[in-house]
Amino acid sequence: MIKKNDSLKAVPAEHRVECYACRRPKTNCLCGSAKPFATRTRFVILMHAKEAKKQRTGTARLARMCLANAELIIGTDFTQNERVNSLINDPAYSPFVLYPGPEAENFKTLGADRLPEWKTPLVFVIDGTWRGAGRVLSKSRNVRALPRLSFSGSYISQYKIKKQPMEHCVSTIEAVYYLCKEAEEAGYESLGAQKEILLGIFKELVDAQLGYQKGKRRRREENAPELRNFPELL
C-alpha cells in the first residue's frame, strides 16, 4: 500500500529569486517593459500595507515604474504622513483623490477655478482591494477631505486573473491609464502612444499569469492517472 508520506512525497519547490523592483520572479521580470514617460499630472500611489506585503501580481508597482512623475507610499492611515501632507499643502499642486462617488468630477468637467493652468494636477491613487481602499480613505482624513476625481467613461477591467467586486472596478494601472487618456482628451496631457506602455506591461502581466495557471492545470491533469487508485492523495 502506498502511503501519502512515502513514495509520493512532495518535492520542495525551487527557491525563486525575486526582482526587487517589480516583485516578480526574475524569470518573469517585467522591468524591461517599463519604459518611464513623463506626465504633467503627478501621481501618488497610496498602497495599502497588506497589499504591499502579500500581493505579487498587483499592478501598482508596475504603474509606478512606467510613470516618471510618480511615487508610491505604503501605509493604512496617511493622516499624519509627512510626505503626503507636504504634497497636499504645496501651492504648486491642485490635489485630488481618484475615487468614485456622486460628487466626483472628471477632467472634462473640471473648470479653471478647480484646476488653474499654472498648477500641476496631483492625483492620489489608492491601491488595495476594494474594501482595503475604502478603509484607507476612511482612516486618512487628509486624503478623504480632497475633492474626488473619477472617469467620464465606463470601463471594464481586463484583469482576467482576478474577479472584480463590481463591474466598474479596474486595476490600479488601468485606472492610471484611463485617467491619462481622459486628461489628454480634455487637453491637460499630450502623451500620444506613450500612455500605451501602461496597458502593454499590464497585458504582459495578465498573459504570464494565465500561462502559469494553464501550465499548472496541465501538470495536475498529467499526474492525475497515477493517483486514481489513491483518491486520498488527490
Question: Would you tell me how many other CB atoms lie within 10 Å of the CB of residue 136?
Answer: 25
Radius of gyration of the chain (CA): 21
Q: Where are the beta strands (DSSP E) in the chain?
A: 42-48, 70-75, 93-98, 120-127, 148-149
For the question of whether the overall pTM of this predicted structure is more than 0.85, the answer is no
Please say if the pLDDT value at position 2 is more than 70.
no
User: Averaged over 194-203, what is the pLDDT?
Assistant: 92
Q: Which CATH architecture has domain 37-216?
A: 3-Layer(aba) Sandwich (3.40)
Average pLDDT (88-113) is 92
Give the domain ranges of the chain.
Answer: 37-216
In whole angstroms, give the CA distance from residue 189 to residue 22: 26
21-50 pLDDT, tens per residue? 666 666 666 666 668 999 999 999 999 988
Asked if the model's pLDDT at residue 234 lies above 50, the reply is no
The region of weakest confidence among 6-10, 13-17, 130-134 is 6-10
- pLDDT tens per residue, range 118-164: 999 999 999 988 888 999 999 999 999 999 999 988 787 675 555 55
- CA 77 to chain CA centroid, Å, is 19
